[in-house]
Structure 1
Amino acid sequence: MTRPLRIGLTGGIGSGKSTVAGLMASHGAAIIDSDAIARRLTLPGGGAIASIREQFGNEFIDATGAMDRERMRALAFSEPTARKRLEGILHPLIGIETKREAETSASPVKVFDVPLLVESGRWRAIVDRVLVVDCSVETQVRRVMQRSGWTESAVRQAIANQATREQRLAAADGVILNDGLTLEQLAAEVAALWRHWCIPE
């Protein structure tokens, strides 16, 4: 039996990575979304809540019992050591759930949607190919401000906490440049890559 193709999908905030993941799913890929896993872990009753409460205090747990994402985001942006502490809680749990989801999927193409793929340093050994969704910083800022209502300074701070475009591109086996593309054009780019990477000759 041929081993499934494992693709690492990454891109900066506002690059359109989630849209590309959805398009790959439409071709039959199994999407293992590390951000979605992290959100589940920090919901009421999630696997990370007890450790977050212990490490950061009750003020970082909201009235529903979930992690207070806005408060934690503000702390992580202002104190890099806090971000490392949170990653120390989440990353091992994300790793366990990622492996479980990958093993239970029957799809011959597994796409690991990982925003911090390059930063983690470990994914290159796990996946067969790395696909980077790229765009200009100006496009990132505009999209995130429109989508999330963040201030420009907040978006630029988030970008500064991620790998640079150059670092991501240096790790890429394939790149989709998502600047000024319509959804139809982006879908065509994904379809072309799917034919090249995922359809046996």
Structure 2
Amino acid sequence: MLVIGLTGGIGSGKSTVADALAASGAAVIDTDVIARELTEPGQPALREIAATFGADLIGPNGRLNRDALRALVFSNSDARARLEGILHPRIKDRMLKQLAETDAPYAVLVIPLLFETNQHTLVDRVLVVDLPESEQRQRVRLRSGLTDGEIDRIVSSQISRAERLARADDILDNSRDRPALLAQVEGIHRTYLALADGLNDREDC
């Protein structure tokens, strides 16, 4: 199966692209969704997070205080490494299990830290959603209400825009409006279908 790695900086529009590709028939596996599932009440990962970082991160309803955890790990690189050690192996295992079970024409793995975690080795092509960093920061600010300092810390945990673009196989420009982005998604979907068909033809030979 053709496997695409979808990535981009925070606020770049990855979810919009992923939703559009899923609506077109691709199998979309989103690691952020998996991470949320793994940290639901009763999950082993949540218990390990509480044991590692303190039970005060768990609210009275048994749910993870995600804002408090984000503030902690993006202000402390050691804490971020410990959290990644808890979550990343579990996320990868579930992602690969879901990938093995899909029968769609091609699969899209949505991995924000694709290059930073060396998971680009799991995919055939890398699709980057891109926009200027100033617009990226503005969208994050409006969407999430994060402070400039919080946005700075998150952006600094990711590779630079220039490096991400240099390592991309395909790029979607999200600096314009939504219809313009969706038109690009439609085009890249057709490209991936053709590549997937070619891959299947080679396997049949």
How high is the TM-score relative to the length of structure 2? Answer: 0.91
Alignment length (residue pairs): 196
The answer to which of 54-63 and 77-86 deviates more is 54-63
How do 1:35-114 and structure 2 match up within 5 A? Answer: 35-114=32-111
- Name structure 1 gaps, 5 residues minimum: none
Partner of 1:21: 18
Partner of 1:171: 167
CA shift digits 1:108-143 (9 cap, x unpaired):
21000000001001x222110000001111111111
Partner of 1:150: 146
Q: CA RMSD in A?
A: 1.3
Q: Following TM superposition, by how much is the alpha carbon of 1:45 offset from its aligned partner in structure 2, in angstroms? A: 1.4
* SS across alignment from 1:6: strand
- Name structure 2 gaps, 5 residues minimum: 199-205
Give runs of ≥4 in structure 1 deviating > 4 Å: none
Query: Using the alignment, how far apart are the partners of 2:88 and 2:94 within structure 1?
Result: 10
Query: Using the alignment, how far apart are the partners of 2:16 and 2:104 within structure 1?
Result: 19
Which residue identity does 2:36 align to in structure 1? R
Which residue identity does 1:184 align to in structure 2? P
The answer to which of 63-72 and 105-114 deviates more is 63-72
Which residue identity does 1:14 align to in structure 2? G
* SS across alignment from 2:116: helix
Which residue identity does 1:189 align to in structure 2? Q
Q: Following TM superposition, by how much is the alpha carbon of 1:153 offset from its aligned partner in structure 2, in angstroms? A: 2.5
CA shift digits 1:77-99 (9 cap, x unpaired):
11100000000000011011101
Partner of 1:182: 177
CA shift digits 1:8-51 (9 cap, x unpaired):
00000010011011111121001100000001111211231111
Partner of 2:202: none
* SS across alignment from 1:186: helix
Identity %: 44
Contact 1:76 / 1:82 at 8 angstroms: preserved in 2?
Answer: yes
* SS across alignment from 2:48: helix
Query: Using the alignment, how far apart are the partners of 1:15 and 1:72 within structure 2?
Result: 22
How high is the TM-score relative to the length of structure 1? Answer: 0.93
Query: Using the alignment, how far apart are the partners of 1:176 and 1:152 within structure 2?
Result: 26
Q: Confirm or deny that 1:193 pairs with 2:188.
A: yes
Contact 1:102 / 1:110 at 8 angstroms: preserved in 2?
Answer: yes
Which residue identity does 1:166 align to in structure 2? A
